[in-house]
Structure 1
Amino acid sequence: MMNPKDFFPVGKLCELYDLEYSFFQEMNEFGLIELEVYSGERYIHQDALYVVEKIIRIHRDLHINLEGIDVVMNMLRRQEVLEEELLQLKNKLRRYDDSI
């Protein structure tokens, strides 16, 4: 069940960022964000606001369309996975070195 405190109305985001509602619909269609419907209004979970702000900055500052943003976001997610794997490998190597 949706807890309204955890969600932010898309209409309010449109006002705050001076964006058309269609921009958020397109982000949803690309799978960049997930919109929830409650009482006929669309909402974004508060945990996704950081991603929304990042997407808006990329779109505005770098003039990248949503197709390009989709590629950038996938690359950033892949980078995060690789950095986590590298950290785990460094920790294993450190434990190995410490035991010798």
Structure 2
Amino acid sequence: MSTEPYIPIATLCTYYKVETSFFHGLNDYGLIEITTVEKLPCIHQKQIKNLESIVRLHQDLHINFEGIDTVLNLLEKIHDLQDELKAAKNKLRIFED
């Protein structure tokens, strides 16, 4: 079986203790992408880090899909701003030396 980078949703449901409808809802809302591999709905392993955050937000903080989308967008903007700040600091160091 050459599906190593894909994890079946059934396995994820067992691991995270959620229903399959949770993953299909995330897919419908555009937060994850479900791919069918050998007639099984699966998620690519590259999405696991993002999925971990989504599950924690949903289970621990009881945030709905819309809220999760907002939080993830804000976190992405923060990361982008941190990168910009780092680049600006590096440029500033050139003039300080």
Shift >6 Å, 4+ stretches: none
Report % sequence identity: 43
Q: Distance in 2 between matches of 1:73 and 1:14?
A: 21
Q: Distance in 1 between matches of 2:76 and 2:33?
A: 16
Query: Is 1:4–2:29 an aligned residue pair?
Result: no
TM superposition score normalised by structure 2 = 0.92
Match of 1:86 in 2: 85
Task: Give how far 1:49 is off.
Answer: 0.6
Task: Give how far 1:55 is off.
Answer: 0.6
- Structure 1 residues not aligned, in runs of 5+: none
Q: Distance in 2 between matches of 1:11 and 1:74?
A: 27
Match of 2:25 in 1: 26
Provide the aligned C-alpha RMSD in A: 1.1
Match of 1:58 in 2: 57
Task: Give how far 1:67 is off.
Answer: 1.0
- Structure 2 residues not aligned, in runs of 5+: none
Q: How many residues align?
A: 96
